């Protein structure tokens, strides 16, 4: 933190480096992205059940709890996620369950606590990502998100930095584009907002060369915007 008590981009990076990590936690990743004016769901770290309850009340129910550990990548598969918690008693039980489950299954894992976030309203799930190619540099990705990206692999790619035309083409190239335009009476999403989010991510990558990989999945797309629900940032070694 800086002298005003605010979390800075450099403090996030320095903390990870000091702990020998290249992967930021979900809370850290979202804080990092917020510095680039990328819309992310409010997510806060709780290191006790009392703090989890307090944060839940501040954010407003229902909430989700997710284990925060640099050693746990697939939180759901590990039993580290609880969704749709509607009252304090559920948050208290969920906190204890998550910590106990992870401690038993992964006794060597470093536990920072749990991430508490308000449940996002449903939307069309998309993914925005970036990885660095040894020859071409940052390569950005867009596609259908959630588990669909693993099943359908319906994605498009462009070498960064992106221009407005690149972002527009990426969105329209995927086979699932009709879902974004309102398939069979479903509400259409704000495609221009998604394009703008791609451009913001491209700018974020350009301004932060220490970022090696970026995975925003899912991003919930709505008729009035889009929201990053889960995020993963990996840093370059030693930068």
Q: How far apart are CA 64 and CA 80, in angstroms?
A: 11
CB 144 within 8 A of CB 152: yes
- Domains in the chain, CATH or no CATH each: 9-118 (3.30.1490.20), 124-235 (3.30.470.20)
Reduce the DSSP state of residue 68 to 3 states and report it. Answer: strand
pLDDT at 5: 39
Tokens at 86, concatenated: 């509607």
pLDDT at 98: 96
Burial (CB count <10 Å: 0-12, 13-18, 19+), residue 170: buried
**96 — alpha (psi -120 to 50), left (phi > 0) or beta?**
alpha
CA distances from 30 to 21, 40, 45, 129 (A): 16, 6, 11, 14
List the end-to-end C-alpha distance of the chain, in Å, as a whole number: 20
Residue 2 dihedral angles phi and psi, to the nearest 5°: -90, -175
pLDDT digits (tens, 9 = 90+) for 173-203: 999 999 999 887 788 999 999 999 999 999 9
Q: Cα dihedral sign for 55, 147, 170, 176?
A: negative
- For the packed helices 164-173 and 191-207, what is the interaxial angle rounded to 10 degrees? 120
pLDDT at 6: 54
Strands (E), the chain: 43-46, 63-68, 81-85, 113-118, 124-133, 137-144, 155-159, 211-222, 225-228, 231-235
- Which residues in the chain land under pLDDT 70? 1-7, 148, 239
pLDDT at 35: 86
CB 199 within 8 A of CB 171: no
CB 232 within 8 A of CB 29: yes
Q: What pTM was computed for the model?
A: 0.90
């Amino acid at each position: 933190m800086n002298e005003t008590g605010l979390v800075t981009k450099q403090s996030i990076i320095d903390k990870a480096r000091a702990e020998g990590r290249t992967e930021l936690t979900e809370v850290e990743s979202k804080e990092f992205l917020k510095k680039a004016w990328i819309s992310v769901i409010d997510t806060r770290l709780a290191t006790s059940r009392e703090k989890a309850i307090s944060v839940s009340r501040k954010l407003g129910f229902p909430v989700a709890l997710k284990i925060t550990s640099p050693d746990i990548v697939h939180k759901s598969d590990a039993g580290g996620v609880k969704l749709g918690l509607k009252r304090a008693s559920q948050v208290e039980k969920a906190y204890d369950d998550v910590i106990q489950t992870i401690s038993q299954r992964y006794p060597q894992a470093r536990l920072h606590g749990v991430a508490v976030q308000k449940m996002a309203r449903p939307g069309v799930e998309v993914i925005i990502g970036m990885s660095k190619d040894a020859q071409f540099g940052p390569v950005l990705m867009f596609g259908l998100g959630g588990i669909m990206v693993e099943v359908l692999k319906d994605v498009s790619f462009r070498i960064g930095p992106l221009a407005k035309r690149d972002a527009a083409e990426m969105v329209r190239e995927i086979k699932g584009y009709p879902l974004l335009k309102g398939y069979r009476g479903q509400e259409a999403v704000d495609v221009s907002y998604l394009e703008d989010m791609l451009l913001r991510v491209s700018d974020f990558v350009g301004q932060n060369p220490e970022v090696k990989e970026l995975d925003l999945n899912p991003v919930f797309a709505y008729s009035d915007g889009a929201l990053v629900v889960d995020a993963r940032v990996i840093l370059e070694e030693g930068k």
